[in-house]
Chains A and B, each alone.
Chain A
Amino acid sequence: MKCDGFEAVIDDLAKSVIMDAAVRDQALLHVASCQRCALRLADERELTAGLRALAVASAAEAPARIEASLLGAFREQQAALRTPLTSRRATHRWLYVAAGVAALVAIVMLISLTISRTRDSGQQQKPEQAIVTPTAPAQHQEPAPGLTKPPAPPEQKPSVNAPAAGAVSRRAKKTGATRGAELSNDATTEAEIVTDFFPLMNRGAGQLDSGQVVRVELPRSALMSFGLPMNMDRADERIKADVIVGNDGLARAIRFVR
């Protein structure tokens, strides 16, 4: 073993810690032949002894007041930990109660809303049926005053009448077979301006048990055939109209829509 190798193990050798026996023997053999390393080892052993003595002598401990202070802190911490837990549980309990109450209120509101909608739809189906399946013969056999009297031109002064009068003034812009059922639903429809219905044939309304309202497009010149004024500048444009078609396939009345 050389001096460098000895330096690497001198601490363990001086402190007499457990080490490889072969390395220890080689180190001691080197010490026997090297005066400098022998002195180094002696110094190291001296230092080790001094440090051990110092460790033994340093038997100081923290003062008792530190323990008392820490115990106080420990108790405070435990108390603080218990308090939030209790309040947290109470908070959770109130949250559950509040959630239950809210759910109950929501259910009651849902039920009442459903009931009111059912009533509303029951009330609104009557005018709808009056339009789609008119039961008043006068509306079709003899045109109502609103029908006989030429209404204001749709492009200038549209008339706005109540649905109960047999003519719907503001209607949904709908297509398809369900249009008739949805016509009366003002809340969900887009506003349209319509004329009154003009009868298309002199048939008794009693023959019209039921029918459909069909949205069609006509040449604007059709306005003139019903005695309505027409802007000649827009003669080439088309105009929308609702036609009541009976179950026999015959058109019974027409109104113009803008």
Chain B
Amino acid sequence: MTLPTTPSDSDLLRQMMSGDEDAFTQLYRRRQGGVYRFALQMSGSQTLAEDVTQEVFIVLMRDGRRYDPDRGSLSAYLYGIARNHVLRKLEQDRPYVPFIDRSADAEEITPLAMIAEGDPLTELTRGETLQELRDLILSMPPRYREVVALCDLHEMSYVEAAAVIGCAVGTVRSRLHRARVLLLEKLRAARDRNEGSQEVKPARCFA
């Protein structure tokens, strides 16, 4: 008796490139969510995220044979394509003022009531919403935004994120550290605005 095995991404890609429509459908359904969310987190625009998702899989159809498994996972390959498209579109749209439609994503916000008692998130979300955190991520420069999205939101390892971005692992680490510091500063500022509390100035530690 043999256990049913799930085909790997590479297997599906191979079948897809030989014309197997089912393999394409299976691969798309497996990977589209991550690609779409990454594009959404990077751009804040559903329309752009849809376009990018579509383009990513069209590129995969066209140039799927160029994928090299030795250089990273297929997931990282798809994220890499998505990243390039998002950055290109952001560059094209830079002259325009970004508009974040909160009402469109309102249903995606997790209400505070849904967060369990004792969860560390309760500390963060006191007077805050996840939407604010999302906006803060969007307000960061793209080079920081992408490492936060990949490493923190998509829980990629530094190595995978480096494969997506096309840089050294150390660069990912340092960018992520800097991005998190930036996020904390912005969060603190937002919290102070909301609560009217005094700003806590961190003291230099000489220990």
Contacts and interface: CB of A to CB of B under 8 A. Distances in A.
B110 interface: yes
B28 A40 contact: no
Given A36-B202, A74-B24, A50 B124 contact: yes
Contacts of A58: 37, 40-41, 108, 134, 153
Nearest to A79: B19
Contacts, number: 138
Given A3-B206, A52-B121, 6 more contacts: A46-B123, A48-B152, A49-B123, A53-B125, A61-B33, A69-B54
A46 B35 CA distance: 26
**9 smallest A-B Cβ distances: which pairs?**
A49-B120, A57-B110, A36-B205, A50-B124, A34-B207, A51-B152, A62-B36, A49-B121, A55-B153
A55 B57 contact: no
B113 interface: no
A53 B152 contact: no
B24 A49 contact: no
Q: Is the interface of B mostly helix, strand, loop or mixed?
A: helix
A11 interface: yes
Given A50-B130, A55-B153, A61 B50 contact: no
A70 interface: yes
Given A57-B110, A66-B53, A78-B19, A44 B180 contact: yes
Interface string A50-82: 111111111111110011011101110110010
Main secondary structure of the interface of A (DSSP, over half): helix
* Chain A residues touching B, range: 35 or more
B44 to A, nearest CB: 12
A57 B109 contact: yes
A37 B134 CA distance: 26
Given A53-B125, A54-B133, A55-B154, A7 B177 contact: yes
A49 B203 contact: no
16 contacts: A3-B206, A7-B177, A35-B205, A43-B188, A46-B124, A49-B124, A50-B125, A58-B37, A60-B36, A61-B36, A62-B53, A66-B53, A70-B57, A73-B58, A74-B24, A78-B19
A188 B109 CA distance: 97
Interface residues of B, number: 56
A30 B41 CA distance: 35
A241 to B, nearest CB: 80
Contacts of B36: 60-62
Interface in A66-100: 66-67, 69-71, 73-75, 77-78, 81
Nearest to B34: A61
B29 interface: yes
Most buried by B among A45, A51, A77: A51
A62 B28 CA distance: 10
Chain B CB count within 10 A is highest, among A7, A58, A66, for A58
Contact of B204 (A36, A55, A75): A36
B203 A36 contact: yes
B168 interface: no
Interface string A27-41: 000100111110110
A46 B120 contact: yes
B50 A63 contact: yes
B61 interface: yes
Contacts of B188: 43
Interface string A8-22: 001100010000000
A45 B203 contact: no
A74 B152 contact: no
B32 A62 contact: yes
Interface in B162-207: 173, 176-177, 180, 183-184, 187-188, 200, 202-207
